[in-house]
Amino acid sequence: MAKKMWAGRFEKATDKAVNDYNSSLPFDCRMYKQDIEGSVAHSAMLAKQGIISQEDADKIREGLLSIMADIESGKLTFDSDAEDIHMFIEEELTERIGDAGKRLHTGRSRNDQVALDQRLYAVDEATEIMSLLGELRDALIEIAKDNLDTYMPGYTHLQRAQPITYAHYLGAYIEMFGRDLDRLEQAISRANISPLGSGALAGTTYPLDREWVADKLGMSGVTANSLDGVADRDWALDLASFASIFMMHLSRMSEEIILYASQEFKFYELDDAYSTGSSMMPQKKNPDVAELTRGKTGRVYGDLMSLLVTMKGLPLTYNKDMQEVQEAIFDVIDTLKGALVPFIGMIKTMTIRKDNMEKAALGGFTNATDLADYLVRKGIPFRSTHEISGKLVHYCIANNTTLEKLSLEQFKQFSDLIEEDVYDAISLKTCVEKRLVTGGPSSKAMTDYLNSL
């Protein structure tokens, strides 16, 4: 085993089992790029401040960039007994450029270094997630624009309630994903702050220019307290909280995709490329993407819980427990990216069966409220009209028919105030188009809404 950089005060080498247990290289190696970018910025600042020579800073920069190139080409692999990616890169650098490599860590601790790398990594990945989430929302907006008069039932208790349009239905998810985008943007802005200069916990005696490094790394500022700088993992909790709420939305939508693609509903037909078959039952076409998304939601909640529990009892400042934060947040990132790509493809390719949606909207007495409202306009109090409409529904069920198919004579048996204009009042189109209120399903309200986005 290679000699540890901190071996000075030790008499014995680390036990192999301890080294394996301690090492985060197998998972933190994914942050090699951020580690190198952070180190390049830090060393450039050390030279600018006269803490190391420009010559050493140049050597460090070249050495680090050659390491990055070799990792990317596959020439340099992570099969070492290094403790983590930070040690791995520094050891490799010193091997390549000699003593100058040993000057890189001046005025820096691994505690502020890991905090920086993880924030940079999280910001990069979260930005990618933000663009995928935007793509999903834009796809829904486009589909909504094409379905302003696609009627379907709206549900409460999963019972047909009142008619809406498919555009209006999608509008609910467009809103949810809009709030998710806000949450993600806030999480990114809180993560994008540099802790470098916090040192191990108490800052440093070197005259570092922290703001300059932050600026060079595209970060918006520096942390204000060195203890908090190394002990804070709130940015990971912010990201996992956003992710949990977002996955809850995606899971609700998945549940509806699963239902709507069933033979019982037949509102959706999933594209062949986005569904799977059964090894035994030849007729099956399964909504695996939606089911997996629903399933993986639990996994993201688990990551959030794991982060909360890992952090809750930790005294200030850095504790090794915090190494565990990485796998949880990496899993959040991987799960979201993994779900979003196929989910977007599924949404963009599935066929909407407008005929079946409309049939369902016509079938479940979804216009019974509008019939009651019609009678209110004739001067009867709503509580009474509710009862008359309910009795008419009961009559229709007993006679296996629907409200709009009743004759005027049949209507009049329940209220002689009902006239010929009832048919227009309870038509699907009227039920939807009369709901002009902001946030409602009418094509006017929905067009205004979609134009406001």
87: tokens are: 């040690």
Binding to ligand ARG by residue 323, rule CB under 6 A?
Answer: yes
Binding to ligand ARG by residue 88, rule CB under 6 A?
Answer: no
- Region of 7-15, 106-114, 135-143, 265-273 interacting with ligand ARG (CB under 6 A): 106-114
Annotated active-site residue 249? The verdict is no
What's the rounded Cα separation, in Å, for the pair 53 and 61? 12
Q: Give the count of residues interacting with ligand ARG (CB under 6 A).
A: 9
- Cβ pair 64, 91 in contact under 8 A: no
- Cβ pair 143, 418 in contact under 8 A: no
- Region of 29-37, 45-53, 316-324, 402-410 interacting with ligand ARG (CB under 6 A): 316-324
**Listed residue (371, 402, 397, 366) closest to 385, CA to CA:** 371
Which residue lies nearer to ligand ARG by CB, 31 or 174? 31
Annotated active-site residue 157? The verdict is yes
**Listed residue (15, 3, 25) closest to 326, CA to CA:** 25
- Cβ pair 103, 64 in contact under 8 A: no
- Cβ pair 230, 201 in contact under 8 A: yes
Binding to ligand ARG by residue 24, rule CB under 6 A?
Answer: yes
Residue 451 DSSP symbol: H
Binding to ligand ARG by residue 232, rule CB under 6 A?
Answer: no
Binding to ligand ARG by residue 39, rule CB under 6 A?
Answer: no
Q: How far is the CB of 24 from ligand ARG (least distance, A)?
A: 4
Binding to ligand ARG by residue 147, rule CB under 6 A?
Answer: no
What's the rounded Cα separation, in Å, for the pair 440 and 433? 9
What's the rounded Cα separation, in Å, for the pair 179 and 186? 11
* CA dihedral for 46, 48, 51, 56, sign (positive or negative): positive
Q: Give the number of other Cβ atoms within 10 Å of residue 259's Cβ.
A: 16
Q: Which of 220, 262, 278, 384 is catalytic?
A: 278
CA atoms within 13 A on the CB side of 13: 9
Binding to ligand ARG by residue 226, rule CB under 6 A?
Answer: no
- Cβ pair 340, 129 in contact under 8 A: yes
Q: How far is the CB of 112 from ligand ARG (least distance, A)?
A: 10
Binding to ligand ARG by residue 329, rule CB under 6 A?
Answer: no
> What's the N-to-C CA distance of the chain in angstroms?
59
Which residue lies nearer to ligand ARG by CB, 293 or 306? 306
Which residue lies nearer to ligand ARG by CB, 111 or 389? 111
Q: How far is the CB of 223 from ligand ARG (least distance, A)?
A: 17
Q: How far is the CB of 286 from ligand ARG (least distance, A)?
A: 40
Binding to ligand ARG by residue 84, rule CB under 6 A?
Answer: yes
Q: Of 34, 39, 43, 111, which one interacts with ligand ARG (CB under 6 A)?
A: 111
Which residue lies nearer to ligand ARG by CB, 28 or 90? 28
Q: Which of 157, 279, 407, 452 is catalytic?
A: 157
Q: Of 31, 46, 114, 361, which one interacts with ligand ARG (CB under 6 A)?
A: 114
Q: How far is the CB of 217 from ligand ARG (least distance, A)?
A: 19
Binding to ligand ARG by residue 112, rule CB under 6 A?
Answer: no
CA atoms within 13 A on the CB side of 59: 18
Q: How far is the CB of 214 from ligand ARG (least distance, A)?
A: 21
Q: How far is the CB of 232 from ligand ARG (least distance, A)?
A: 13
Return the amino acid letter for 173.
Y
Q: How far is the CB of 201 from ligand ARG (least distance, A)?
A: 9
In 3-state terms the chain splits into helix, strand, coil percentages (rounded to 5) of 65, 5, 30
- Region of 108-116, 158-166, 190-198, 441-449 interacting with ligand ARG (CB under 6 A): 108-116
- CB burial class (10 A; 0-12, 13-18, 19+) of residue 397? exposed
Which residue lies nearer to ligand ARG by CB, 109 or 366? 109
**Listed residue (144, 154, 157, 357) closest to 269, CA to CA:** 357
Residues that bind ligand ARG (CB under 6 A): 24, 28, 84, 110-111, 114, 318, 322-323
Active site residues per annotation: 157, 278
